[in-house]
């Protein structure tokens, strides 16, 4: 009910309403109809058609003025010299009535929202009292709406009696709200349709109707083809969706498998790291022990090195002494050998001398007697 009341307002918007959310959106322009035939006539000839167009044109003019009432109410001081005292007073009274209507409607909307939010308490007495109060307020809006309609008619009458003021007011079309401008555009479009309709003769209307029927049949056939294609597309989309779902399932399985491989690898890596840490800790302990042993052995090695150096010196002295002793012994042996050779030579010479001497004595004494010979043998043996 409240939304229906807001739709009235005779296309009027006071300044306070600019802060409120628009109740109705701007109507979209209808699609341009097919115009396969152009009417043969370009002007209206009958009085009835001229009267119809005159009424529609007058309606559009009045709507153009009415949709600028909010601009007039917001700029009464600037337009007072142009509008006159009586028209300015009428605009102000109209703005006050519209503001009263808006306030009441806003309060009514709040109560209706509260009523909707507490529907579960509809059996309570206070809920029924609130519902009754809302219905009473709705009924009280009707007189205010009637006053607004009468005020609008009075302002239009005054504006139409002042053509110059009306013409200057229409020049402020940019101040009109988008919803009101859309409504006027729709009326202008309706005027074009009506004007074309009034220019069309019965034969032209029949030809146009036949053409529209052919277009409708063609459109129906095209729609059937479109429906067939859409069904085929839907079927293929379903198949595609099934394939995609299957592929997604396979991908998910692969992801799970990869996740298990990854978890396994991470676990193995963690085990290897722990094993490495353990082995390195053991190796570190072993290294520290070996390092201690190495240091001790190094100390022992240094001591042995010192002892070795001493022994080397002693060995060098001993070897030198041995070399001297060996050299002396060799010299002694050589001397001994020379002496042995000399003694051997001397003995050989002596033995040769004795043998030769013996042989000479034997030859000298061979001719002497046997006794002497025996004596000589005994001496020789001796």
94 or 225: which leads in pLDDT? 225
Give the separation between CA 10 and CA 146, rounded to whole angstroms. Answer: 11
Report whether 137 contacts 108 (CB < 8 A): yes
Closest C-alpha among 182, 138, 150, 241 to residue 22: 182
Q: What percent of the chain has pLDDT over 70?
A: 78
Query: CA 181 to CA 27: how far, in whole Å?
Result: 9
DSSP state of 43: S
Its pTM stands at 0.40
Q: What is the dihedral of CA 154, 159, 161, 167, to 10 degrees?
A: -160
**DSSP at 124:** S
| DSSP state letter for 64 | H
Encode pLDDT of 37-75 as tens digits.
555 556 776 788 788 888 888 888 888 888 877 777 777
- In tens, the pLDDT along 176-188 reads 778 888 888 888 8
User: What does the alpha-carbon distance between residue 223 and residue 216 come to, in Å, rounded to a whole number?
Assistant: 10
- pLDDT greater than 70 at residue 327: yes
pLDDT score of 225: 92
Q: How far apart are CA 207 and CA 219, in angstroms?
A: 18
The four Cα atoms 79, 80, 81, 83 give a dihedral, to 10 degrees, of 80
Phi/psi of residue 118, each to 5°?
-120, 35
Mean pLDDT across 217-239: 91
Q: If residue 129 lies in a helix (H) or strand (E), which one and from where to where? A: helix 125-160
Beta carbons within 8 Å of 195's beta carbon, 6+ residues apart = 44, 53
**What 8-state DSSP symbol labels residue 68?**
T
Contact 3, 22 (CB under 8 A): no
pLDDT tens column, 112-125: 777 777 766 666 67
C-alpha to C-alpha distance for 200 and 202, rounded to whole angstroms? 7
> The dihedral of CA 255, 258, 260, 263: what is its sign?
negative
pLDDT digits (tens, 9 = 90+) for 271-286: 888 888 888 888 888 8
CA distance 128 to 125: 5
């Amino acid at each position: 009910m409240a939304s229906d009341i807001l739709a009235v307002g005779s296309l009027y918007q006071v300044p306070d309403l600019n802060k409120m959310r628009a109740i109705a959106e701007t109507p979209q322009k209808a699609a341009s109809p097919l115009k396969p035939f152009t009417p043969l006539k370009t002007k209206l000839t009958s009085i009835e058609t001229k009267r119809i167009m005159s009424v529609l044109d007058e309606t559009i003019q009045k709507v153009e003025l009415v949709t600028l009432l909010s601009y007039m109410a917001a700029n009464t001081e600037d337009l007072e010299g142009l509008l006159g005292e009586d028209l300015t007073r009428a605009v102000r009274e109209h703005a006050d009535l519209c503001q009263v209507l808006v306030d009441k409607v806003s309060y009514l909307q709040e109560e209706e929202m509260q009523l909707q939010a507490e529907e579960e308490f509809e059996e309570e007495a206070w809920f029924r009292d609130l519902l009754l109060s809302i219905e009473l307020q709705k009924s009280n809006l009707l007189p205010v709406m009637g006053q607004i309609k009468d005020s609008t008619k009075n302002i239009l009458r005054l504006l139409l009696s002042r053509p110059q003021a009306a013409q200057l007011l229409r020049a402020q079309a940019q101040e009109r709200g988008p919803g009101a401008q859309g409504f006027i555009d729709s009326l202008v479009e309706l005027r074009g349709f009506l004007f074309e309709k009034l220019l069309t003769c019965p034969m032209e209307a029949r030809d146009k109707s036949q053409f529209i029927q052919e277009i409708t049949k063609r459109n129906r056939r095209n729609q059937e083809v479109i429906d067939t294609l859409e069904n085929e597309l839907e079927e293929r989309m379903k198949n595609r969706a099934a394939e995609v779902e299957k592929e997604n399932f396979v991908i998910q399985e692969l992801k799970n498998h990869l996740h298990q491989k990854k978890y396994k690898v991470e676990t193995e890596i963690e085990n290897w790291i722990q094993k490495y840490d353990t082995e390195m800790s053991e190796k570190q302990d072993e290294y520290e022990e070996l390092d201690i042993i190495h240091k001790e052995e190094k100390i022992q090695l240094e001591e042995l090195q010192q002892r070795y150096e001493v022994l080397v010196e002693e060995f060098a002295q001993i070897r030198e002494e041995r070399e001297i002793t060996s050299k002396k012994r060799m010299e002694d042996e050589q001397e001994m050998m020379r002496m042995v050779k000399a003694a051997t030579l001397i003995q050989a010479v002596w033995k040769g001398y004795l043998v030769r001497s013996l042989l000479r004595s034997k030859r000298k004494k061979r001719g002497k007697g046997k006794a002497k010979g025996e004596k000589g043998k005994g001496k020789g043996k001796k």
